[in-house]
Structure 1
Amino acid sequence: MQILKSYTNSFKGLSQEVWMLSVVMLINRSGSMVLPFLGVYMTDYLRFSLESAGLVLSFYGIGSVLGSWLGGYLTDKFGEYYIQSWSLFLSAPIFLIIPFFPSVEMMAVLIFLQSTISDTFRPANSVAITKYAKPQNLTKAFSLNRMAVNLGFSIGPALGGILSGISYNFLFIVNAIAALSAGVIYVIFFRKRNTIFQKQKKMLPVETFTEKGRSPYRDFPFLFYSLLCTVFAICFFQFFNTIPLFYKEAAKLSQSTIGFVLGYSGFIIVLLEMPLVSIAERTLKMHQVLFAGIILSGLSYLLLVLGSSIPLLVLSMTILSVGEIWALPFMSTVTAMRAGLGSKGAYMGLNGIAFSFSFIITPFLGTYIVSHFGFDVLWYGSFTVLLITAFLIFRIVKRMFVKTYDQ
């Protein structure tokens, strides 16, 4: 009973708007079953080589980089409401036409276009969270949003595993329906609120909304921090690329079992994220939480060297999920705290770019290492890189917020 009370208390103080942003994210991500199965779809159904599949997945990353930059720029210029709306509505038809172009070249073009449109959503959504959340609840708001993402990812891959067993085309259809549904719900709920906000904005002094911080591209400590986020993401987002391939080729799991193991990660995050974030906020400083999260992520990959039994895969995924909980929402909070009022879109966009670069590098690098050296080398290398990253990010974040910690 005490645990349940502690769990419910972790949600207190979050506004209706923050909850609705998470609901929209949940609906959208529940349909996001294409990406985890895209590598398997291309190698198993389209008969692409590992290198060709990795190349196409890298174009997803290129589009993600462009979309993150574009989303940040357009959000500062036009506001997060319009960018989120158009991103959701425009991404739906792209999903529907992907199955009709099964060549490597056309898959690369369409995946690039889809990821560019879809990822303009992310910086706009992050700015919306900072807009509707109270400063003291900012990490909780990011965590709730991420919890919605992961609940969606627990539903999506599990359902995707079932649907792909019938026909891979269902993956693209359901993804399109989810994006369209999320767009409709978002517009219905936020259209009036955005109109009211714009009217209130016009009544305030112009200087209230002018940029009060430097450009993120001239903020050198933040640039180094973003580079470290990229390195972390390159290792972490093997979750979407080489881990499903490892499950398929080394562990010999069926598609439905792969979906359930990936979906288990989302279940763990939904169950534990808010309590673990609350504990971390009370007991640790920002740089300490990030250090712990990155170290745990590295240990989860090191475990995979020991074998590919189901219990070991579940243990590894559990540790990776806890590491994710103590890394990703706090990385977003660092970005939001560093940004000025008029440059939040640019900062969130740059943070998105840092993660998007991983979608370019991870698929190609991961599949190349596996093809030439095997999975064990990949897991040892990921652990080593994450260990170094943990120490560096500990130092830079502590330096960025040293005045805050001393108060």
Structure 2
Amino acid sequence: MKTLFKNYINTFKGLSTEVWWLAFITLINRAGTMVIPFLSLYLTKNLHFSLIEVGWIMSAFGGGSVVGSWLGGKLTDKLGFYKVMVFSLVTSGFLFVALQFLSTFVTICLGVFILMIVADMFRPAMFVALSAYSKQENKVRSVTLIRLAINLGFSAGPAIGGLIIVTLSYGGLFWVDGITCILAGILLLNVLHPKKVKIADEIVIKNPQSAYKDINYIIFLFAMLLFGVAFLQYFSTVPLFYKEVFYLSEFEIGLLMGMNGFLIFVLEMPLVKTLEKSLYSKTGIVIFGALLTALSFIFLNLSSWAGVLVIGMLCMTVGEMIAFPFSNAFALERAKKGNQGEYMALYSISFSIAHIIAHNSGMHLIDKYGYEFTWYTTIVIMIVCISILYYLKWRMMRKKDKQFAIN
């Protein structure tokens, strides 16, 4: 056991202090995002919106995310990642608190849209900061550390969020979310100020390439968009499935979703370090992750036994641990070819568009055809995603673009 623990600790060695601070700030921020997994439940249970209305509200969520990611990338290239991150964290904190006071369909759509513009300006700036603070040989593990912070936050967040709903109300979630965002911004001001830190991997690009002209990158983003459409069902329609079909309480839903974050926290870094040393290509690793994610939705349709929910969550969790770190690392490496903010903005936008499509289409499909049909549709989406990744691998091998196909 002692040797196992020592080997686990060794997987974190070599990462810069700045990356650790960035991960800790992300942890504080994400621990407060307990509103997100319960948003669909809050809108249906407390505000009594229909599934169709909830779908449109979640589309406003995704639309704001698209605009915020694009704007964050532009501002990062012009002003630098530090200023964008501070503004995003502090301002979104106040907006999260204000969101609970909105009650009509139109005001909530507008409020969620504005909130996500500000909140998701953080993502491309954070990725550029991560690239700057980490050495070349530590890129994938640095990405993984940030993901661990995110998932540890998501692990604690839903479990605590479910408890807050039971003991207080949904309103308490908005206060906690807002306060944690502001605290994260204050910490960032104090520990990652440009005058106090050093850049580990500063990249100077004389003739930056536009990300929009990088065809292989665009193909990759389309595959990730489809992956996101399926993956995000676990944060909108799947919680409703847990409650309406299996009659789980909010606290039980929080525990089940919290298991995802806890397993990622414990297992992802050793798994990523092992896969880094393997002979498998990045494409193959991401494809395997996509296969496991597709399998998780098959389990949801297999039986009325509640144990399939745990098995499905386990498949999705392992698929996520495998796919996301290496897709993140590819985007960071690709960004060296051009404007980093623009590249990372497009990476974030692919998932923002997935938010628009996933939640709305999921709610509409459930409303018209039921959960079983929705999960089979999601499986088909994942099959298309996997096919595109196979095509990308073939294309990059043929074009001798080995950055993703071989490494």
TM-score (norm 1): 0.94
Structure with higher helix content: 1
Question: Residue 250 and residue 77 in structure 1: after superposition, are their counterparts in 2 closer, same or farther (change >3 A)?
Answer: same
Q: Give 2:135's aligned amino acid.
A: K
Q: Match for residue 324 of structure 1?
A: 320
Is 1:237 matched with 2:232?
A: yes
- In the alignment, residue 76 of structure 1 is paired with which amino acid? D
Q: Does the CA-based 8 Å contact 1:211-1:343 persist in structure 2? A: no
Q: Distance in 2 between matches of 1:138 and 1:317?
A: 27
Report what 2:272 is aligned to.
277
Offset of 1:3 from its aligned partner? 2.6
Kept in 2: contact 1:84–1:124 (CA 8 A): yes
* Structure 2 residues without counterparts, runs of 5 or longer: none
Counterpart Cα distance in 2 of 1:291 and 1:406? 14
Q: Which residue of structure 1 lines up, in the alignment, with residue 204 of structure 2?
A: 209
Whether contact under 8 Å (1:150, 1:266) holds in the other structure is yes
Matched, 1:259 2:254: yes
| 1:83 and 2:78 are equivalent in the alignment | no
- Asked if 1:178 corresponds to 2:177, the answer is no
In 1, Cα distance between the equivalents of 2:381 and 2:14? 38
Return the offset for 1:195. Answer: 7.3
Does residue 221 in structure 1 map to residue 216 in structure 2? yes
Instruction: Name the aligned partner's letter for residue 87 of structure 2.
Output: W
Q: Does the CA-based 8 Å contact 2:219-2:388 persist in structure 1?
A: no
Q: Could you tell me how far apart the structure 2 residues matched to 1:406 and 1:99 are?
A: 48
Letter in structure 1 aligned against 2:148: M
AA in 1 matched with 2:58: L
Aligned to 1:154: 155
How many percent identity over aligned positions? 37
Cα distance, 1:89 vs. partner? 0.6
Matched, 1:372 2:374: no
Equivalent residue for 1:296, pick from 292, 295, 306:
292
SS of structure 2 residue aligned to 1:231: helix
Instruction: State the 1:103 CA deviation.
Output: 0.5
- Alignment gaps of 5+ in structure 1: 202-207
CA distances 1:223-250 after superposition (whole Å, capped 9, x unpaired): 1111111111011111110011111111
Within the alignment, does 1:100 sit opposite 2:95 as a pair? no
> Aligned ranges for residues 361-400 of structure 1 at < 5 Å?
361-397=357-393, 399-400=395-396
The 1-side partners of 2:256 and 2:150 are apart by 16
Deviates further, 309-318 or 145-154: 309-318
1:110-153 alpha-carbon deviations (Å, 9 max, x no partner): 00011110000000001111001111110110011001000000
Q: Quote how far apart the aligned CAs of 1:98 are.
A: 1.1
Paired with 1:188 and 1:273, the residues of 2 have a C-alpha distance of 29
- Code of the aligned partner of 2:186: V
Say whether 1:305 aligns with 2:305. no
* TM-fit CA distance, 1:213: 4.0
Distance 1:128 1:171 in 2: 29
Code of the aligned partner of 1:82? K
Q: How far, CA to CA, are the matches of 2:24 and 2:148 in structure 1?
A: 10
Shift of the 308–402 alpha-carbon distance from structure 1 to 2, 3 Å rule, reads farther
Do structure 1's residue 56 and structure 2's residue 57 form an aligned pair? yes
Whether the 8 Å contact between 1:127 and 1:348 is mirrored in structure 2 is yes
Query: For residues 205-232 of structure 1, what are the alpha-carbon distances to aligned partners after superposition, in whole Å with 9 as ceiling and x for unaligned?
Result: xxx7345441111111211111111111
| SS of structure 2 residue aligned to 1:127 | helix
Q: Output one character per residue of 1:60-86: Cα deviation in whole Å (capped at 9) or x when no partner.
A: 000000011111111111111000000
Mapped partners of 1:394, 1:69: distance in 2: 28
Residue by residue over 1:169-205, the C-alpha shift from the partner in whole angstroms, topping out at 9 and shown as x without a partner, is 00100001100110111110011546766xx99xxxx
Partner of 1:359: 355
What corresponds to 1:191 in structure 2? Answer: 193
SS at match of 1:176: helix
Please say if 1:343 is aligned against 2:339: yes
Q: Match of 2:47, as an amino acid?
A: L
How far apart, in 2, do the equivalents of 1:96 and 1:290 lie? Answer: 37
Give the distance between the partners of 1:25 and 1:300, measured in 2 at CA: 28
> Are the aligned partners of 2:224 and 2:351 in contact in 1 as well (CA < 8 Å)?
yes
Task: Indicate conservation of the 8 Å contact 1:67/1:118, yes or no.
Answer: yes
Equivalent-residue separation in structure 2 for 1:150 and 1:113 (angstroms)? 25
Shift of 1:402: 4.0
Q: Which amino acid aligns with 2:351?
A: F
- State how far apart, in whole Å, the 2-side matches of 1:141 and 1:304 are: 33
In the alignment, is the contact (CA less than 8 A) between 1:211 and 1:341 conserved in 2? Answer: no
How far apart are 1:341 and its partner, in Å? 6.0
Match of 2:31 in 1: 30
Name 1:169's counterpart in structure 2: 171
User: Does structure 1 conserve the Cα–Cα contact (< 8 Å) formed by 2:281 and 2:406?
Assistant: no
Letter matched to residue 62 of structure 2: G
SS in 2 for 1:11: coil
**Which amino acid letter does the alignment assign opposite residue 103 of structure 1?**
T
RMSD (CA atoms): 1.9
| Change in 2 beyond 3 A, CA 1:402/1:210 | closer
